[in-house]
Structures are given as C-alpha cells and as structure tokens.
Amino acid sequence: MPVYSYVGLSPDGKNVTGIIDADSPRAARLKLRRSGVFPTSLAESREAESTPRASRSLSRLFERVGAQELAVMTRQLSTLVSAGLPLVDCLSALIDQVDSERLKRMLTQTRERVNEGTSLADALAEHPRVYSDLYVNMVRAGEASGALDVVLLRLADYTESTARLRSKLRSALTYPAVMLIIGTTILFFLLSYVVPKITRIFTESKQVLPLPTRILMALSGMLSTWWPLVVVLLAVVALAFRYYVRTEAGRQRYDRWVLRVPVFGKLMQKIAVARFSRTLSTLLQSGIGLLPSLDIVKNIVDNRVLYDATEAARDAIREGQSIAPPLKKSGIFPPLMIHMIAVGEKSGRLEEMLFKTAETYEGEVDSTIATLTTLLEPVMIVFMGGIVTFIVLSILLPIFQMSQLVR
C-alpha cells in the first residue's frame, strides 16, 4: 500500500505533518479528514521507485532498526498500553516520538492496519525484517491473554539482553580483527615491496644464504610475482567455503566444528545455550505452549546442530516425553542446564529455571569474553612481533656473514 507524506491543519488551526498509508491520494485525504486533519499538501513517497538499486540497498542499511531502538520502542509501547490508552492512540504517540524514518513509516502502516480491525500481531507480521517470529508470536499471545503490556515489557527486556550480549561479543572480536587486517596489510607490503629490494643485494653476492633468509626470499618472490594469482585463489577458496557452508551437509559439519574448537567452541556453546534458555523462558512466560515455543527457538539458536537437537526434543515431547531426556540425549546441552530443566519440570517452575539458566550462562559468557579480551591483546602482539623478528633476522643474518667475510 502506498505511503503519503502530508501537511495539514488540525481542528484548532495548527499546522501538522506526518505520513499515512492508503490505496490512493483520495483515500488518504478521506482518512485525514475523518481524523480531523484538513490536508493542504499530500505527496506519495516514491523513494523505492526513484532510487537506484545500489543506493536503495545502502539507504536500507543505514535505515535498519537496531535492537536497542526496537527495545526502547517496545518499552514505550508497553508503558502506553499499561496506562489504559487505546492501541491506536498508543501507536500514534510512538509515531510522534521515534526518530527513525523507516520505523516511523512502519508504525504508521501498523496503526492503519489496527485501525482497520487487524490485530497488532498480524500488522507487525507484515514487516518480518524488523519484527521476528518470536516478537510477533509473543505479541499475539499477549493480545490473546489480555496481558499485552506485560508481554511487551518482557519483549523489551529480552531484546535489550540479546543486544547487550551481541555487543559484548562484537566488541571482544573487534580488536583482534582490526589487528589481523592491519598486520596482514603491513606484512603483504613488506614481503611484496620492501624485502625484494633489500634481498637483491644478497642474490648478487652469490654466497650461500641462511635458511631463514632463503625462506623469506621464496615467500617474497612468490608474493611479488604471483600476488594476483594468490588473491584470486583466496577469493575462490572463500567463495567455495561459503557455498559449501550453505549446503545442508556443509552447514552441519561447520556448526559441529564450531562447537568443538578449543576455547571458542565452549564460548559459542554457552552463548547458544544462554540464548536458547532466555528465549524459551520468555515465550513460556508469555503464555505460548511448549511445542510452539520450541518451533520458534530452533530458528533462533543459529546453529544447525542445536537446531536438530531442538527439533528432536520437540518430536519426543509430542510423543509424550518430558523435555530434559531428549536434550540430554543430544549431547550438546551442558549437564547443568539439563539438571535445571528437569528440576523445573518436576516443580512446575520451568520458566523460572530456564531464566536462571540463561543468567548463569550469560554470566559465564561475560567472564569468558573478559578473559579472552585480556589475553588476545598480548597474544596478537607476540604473534606480530614474532613475524617482524623473523623478517629482521632473515635480513640481518646474511649482512653479518658478509661483514665477517670482509674482515
């Protein structure tokens, strides 16, 4: 449905601006007049048609609704709903205060759908790039139970905790990634440009060179002569790996390998378990059944091995089993989590135990990330220092030999 920007006059004669969606300009004017606004200017937004595809993709990237922004909007909506305001008025209030143009347009479209009689969950489901299945299903459960404000508050807490965990992981990986890129660039420059000029003297001397110098010269010669082929080969390997990971068998093997990598594998497992536990706890607390909740959770863990384990657990529960035994059988989930889930099932406090499990493993993730961040800096420095030392020694050793021959 087209979206229109308008300028008009309110019933008290004040200038008002905003956006509205309608089937046609005439329908948009009628909607505005029914709401008490007299439109003086109406223009259809044609950004998608007039903008080139590349620019459109770039603008969408900058217009993405961040997790923190979505959490703030959800918390504000929860506050407005708990105050007893009609849902349409709550959405109107949100439209007036959000800064993101994309979020403003989506909220406007959502308000129009709700005003037409559509449920809030169905209206949100029309924007899957912003509102996940988890978000939509929780809102639907909140509408069905009459506790929409409580569910929205839980959603805001969940979104904020997920964004916080993702931010910590990203910040922990930023430093080594930047160091690796800078170090690789410097190393490539040294081997392809600086080293060949220096080692030309050694080649002309016709003397037997030390092994480190010969290795360095071989690497330098390969890079300076065949660097286009090396770049193409690396690109082909990267594309082949990407294609392989997208296959069913490739994704399965890659995800299993990720969980077995020393140090980082345990970290990825803890992150996945924390996300699994918090998501399942949030869904169950919102009144969604265990089987539908597992259907949502399996698509959120982002690991094919955990996906299959969750699906197997769902099938076992459908056949009458409890949730703990099939999760334990998979061998993926840690014993502490299995034990807490079993206790939660027996005591009827599964949601509470899942929430405590999430907090426990999120705390372990924070501790592990802090330790890795502390260790990665000296490890990267030692690694880069070792490479530079090898290059310097490889150049100095033949110089020392030449000076001894002169004496």
For residue 237, name the pLDDT band (cuts at 50, 70, 90): very high
Selection from 257, 267, 64 nearest residue 168 by Cα:
267
Distance between CA atoms of residues 91 and 110, nearest Å: 8
User: What is the Cα Rg of the chain in Å?
Assistant: 30
What confidence category does residue 174 fall into, taking pLDDT thresholds of 50, 70 and 90? Answer: confident
What is the arithmetic mean of pLDDT over 394-405?
74
Q: At what angle do helices 101-115 and 87-97 cross, to 10 degrees?
A: 160
Tell me the average pLDDT across 230-251: 88
- The enclosing H or E element of 394 equals helix 350-406
Asked whether 268 and 255 are in contact (CB, 8 A), the reply is no
Q: Look at residue 236 and tell me whether its pLDDT is greater than 90.
A: yes
Confidence of residue 45 (pLDDT cuts 50, 70, 90): low
Interval 96-139: pLDDT, tens: 787 777 788 888 888 888 887 888 888 888 888 888 887 888 88
The whole-number pLDDT of residue 217 equals: 81
What is the spatial distance between Cα 219 and Cα 227, in angstroms, rounded to a whole number?
11
Locus of tokens 């080594």: 176
Strand 3-9 and strand 38-44: the pairing is: antiparallel
Please give the pLDDT value at position 396: 81
Distance separating alpha carbons of residues 231 and 2, to the nearest angstrom: 46
- Does the pLDDT of residue 51 top 50, yes or no? no
Cross-strand pairs, 38: 9
* Cβ contact 148:136 at 8 Å: no
Residue of 104 and 253 predicted with greater confidence = 253
Instruction: Name the least confident of 206-210, 216-220, 329-333.
Output: 206-210
Residue-level pLDDT at 52: 44
Question: What global pTM score does this model have?
Answer: 0.66
Residue predicted with more confidence, 132 or 44: 132
At 109, list the tokens: 């479209």
pLDDT score, position 406: 54
Which range among 12-21, 230-239, 299-308 has the greatest average pLDDT? 230-239
Is residue 57 pLDDT above 50, yes or no? no
Tell me what the pLDDT averaged over the chain comes to: 79
Q: Residue 271 corresponds to which tokens in the numbers above?
A: 């992150």
DSSP state of 38: E
Nearest residue to 282 (alpha-carbon basis) of 274, 130, 163: 274
- Distance of alpha carbon 47 from alpha carbon 177, whole angstroms: 36
Q: 161 and 362 in contact (C-beta within 8 Å)?
A: yes
Please determine, for residue 39, whether its predicted confidence score (pLDDT) is greater than 50. yes
Q: State residue 60's pLDDT score.
A: 44
Q: What percent of the chain has pLDDT over 90?
A: 1
What whole-number distance in Å separates Cα of residue 123 and Cα of residue 23?
Answer: 16
Q: Report how far Cα 158 is from the mean position of its chain's Cα atoms.
A: 14
Question: pLDDT: is 204 or 365 the higher one?
Answer: 365
Dihedral angle at the C-alpha atoms of 81, 87, 88, 90, nearest 10 degrees? 10
DSSP symbol at 207: P
**Higher pLDDT, residue 13 or 356:** 356
More confident residue, 266 or 99: 266
- Cβ–Cβ contacts within 10 Å for residue 164, how many? 15
Looking only at the bridges linking them, the beta strands covering 38-44 and 15-21 are unpaired
Is 217 strand, coil or helix? Answer: helix
- In this predicted model, what pLDDT tens digit does every residue of 58-87 receive, in sequence order? 444 444 677 788 888 888 888 888 888 888
